[in-house]
Amino acid sequence: MAVVELTRITKSYGEGDNRQTVLQEVNLSIEAGEYVTILGPSGSGKSTLMNIIGCLDIPSSGNYFLKQEDVSRLSEDELARIRNQEIGFIFQQFQLLPRLTVLQNIELPLIYAGISQKERRQRATDLLARVGLAEKASVYPHQLSGGQQQRVAIARALVTKPALLLADEPTGALDQKTGQQIMALFQELADEGKTIVMITHDTEIAQQAKRIVRIEDGHVKEANQK
């Protein structure tokens, strides 16, 4: 089943002479269980594409079906529900909430989803162990290293059992060794059958996934399958 089905997606910003087309007729289909990297230089449209896939922004034209549901037909409330429950976001700067403990950060998406406290605690605790940080449940994000914070962010992204993990330069703020450990964790998640879309400008990182989609000046150039 296709989790993501983009057809002739175009995105422009600005008006009149300032109008800039950032994505040009992008076609992209991602099946359940695929691990895909989207590779392109700075300014090529990667984050714009991620925002559309993540239902954070809407295309100027074209169609987007997420799990066979036409996203353009959904209300703002329904889009917010999809963002929270179907998509696990992972960012370069982790974006943990500083005043919540590690466990509370991981539980937060489940509060929005209306899950009981007992189940929230159970699922967050299990995932914290899964990312190798069981002993860090009650500390605050600033007490962790960058790599540990990104592990917490990955646990938070997984906690709603989303259809899709969407990561934008997840190793961009980490040193090389820590970045490789995070990439190893993504590989384990891919081996477990998670659907992952990772955005990167780094060719070496992109090559760790089975499928690399190249983007240049808003055009998807190739979508090679190894």
Q: Using CB under 5 A as the criterion, which residues of the chain lie in contact with Mg ion when the complex forms?
A: 46-47
Nearer to ligand ADP, 109 or 218 (CB): 218
**Residue 162 binding result from ligand ADP, Mg ion, none, given CB thresholds of 5 to 8 Å by partner type:** none
Report helix, strand or coil for 28: strand
User: Measured at CB, which residue is nearest to Mg ion?
Assistant: 47
| Minimum distance from residue 48 beta carbon to ligand ADP (Å) | 3
Nearer to ligand ADP, 12 or 181 (CB): 12
Nearer to ligand ADP, 53 or 152 (CB): 53
Report the interface residues with ligand ADP, using CB under 6 A: 13, 22, 40, 42-48
| Minimum distance from residue 49 beta carbon to ligand ADP (Å) | 7
Say which residue the tokens 């329904």 belong to: 78
Nearer to ligand ADP, 46 or 194 (CB): 46
Dist CA 211 CA 70 (whole Å): 25
CA nearest neighbour of 190 among 217, 221, 224, 154? 154
| Minimum distance from residue 44 beta carbon to ligand ADP (Å) | 4
| Minimum distance from residue 41 beta carbon to ligand ADP (Å) | 7
Q: Name every residue whose Cβ is closer than 8 Å to that of residue 35 and which is 6 or more positions away in sequence.
A: 186, 187, 190, 194, 195, 196, 198, 209, 210, 211
> In this structure, how many other beta carbons lie within 10 angstroms of the beta carbon of residue 191?
9
Write out the H or E segment, with its range, that includes residue 29.
Answer: strand 20-31
